[in-house]
Amino acid sequence: GTIGNTVLWNIVSNGFTGAVYPVNPGAKVVHSIRCYPDVRAIPDAVDLAIVCVPGKGVLDVVRACIEKGVRGICVISAGFRETGEEGAAREKELAALCRGAGIRLIGPNCMGLLTTDVGVKLNATFARTFPRPGGIGFLSQSGAMGVTILDHAEDRGLGIRMFASLGNKADVSGNDLVSYWNDDPETKLVLMYLESFGNP
């Protein structure tokens, strides 16, 4: 019933083409996959970490990811600037840790990311819908709006190429994704739901 459990199930049940390494110090196996007590215990390189722990534990997880050499982190966890001064200070430290290590960060306080690209097929969200492939790049600052639009796109037969929920936009912003999608020949249309423009 946890968000982390749902995200892991979405990754493995939608045909992700890469290796998956669940990390949970309290479990040996999740969804029939061997669990690791810490990201540093994983024997292989890790490209992307999806972080779904209570907000106060995120910084320790990110420090472990830095030691492991992870290059991308998506923090689904809440408990940052949306909660007040203490959370804002935690978010500032999170962004500084990632920036100092050369790691790109999506979130925190987001619903994840997905791509329907046949070479990847990653659904690292807690959304019910994994959309059909198509030419739309979609970003949403709101998780609830992201889920709603993914559901409506499926109802209308619209294909999504990539989706990212940006949450608090501590690092990766709409500008980054629009720039990326502009250079991606498979992205034909960009949809954005934004609640703020950091740099219009």
Contact 106, 171 (CB under 8 A): yes
Model confidence, pTM: 0.94
- Encoded tokens for 123: 């659904």
In degrees, to the nearest 5, what angle opens at C-alpha 74 toward C-alphas 35 and 156?
Answer: 105
**pLDDT, tens digit, 9 for 90 and up, residues 101-125:** 999 999 999 999 999 999 999 999 9
Mean of the per-residue pLDDT values of the chain: 95
**pLDDT, tens digit, 9 for 90 and up, residues 1-27:** 899 999 999 999 999 999 999 999 999
Confidence of residue 197 (pLDDT cuts 50, 70, 90): confident
Q: Where are the alpha helices (DSSP H) in the chain?
A: 3-13, 58-68, 85-101, 143-155, 174-182
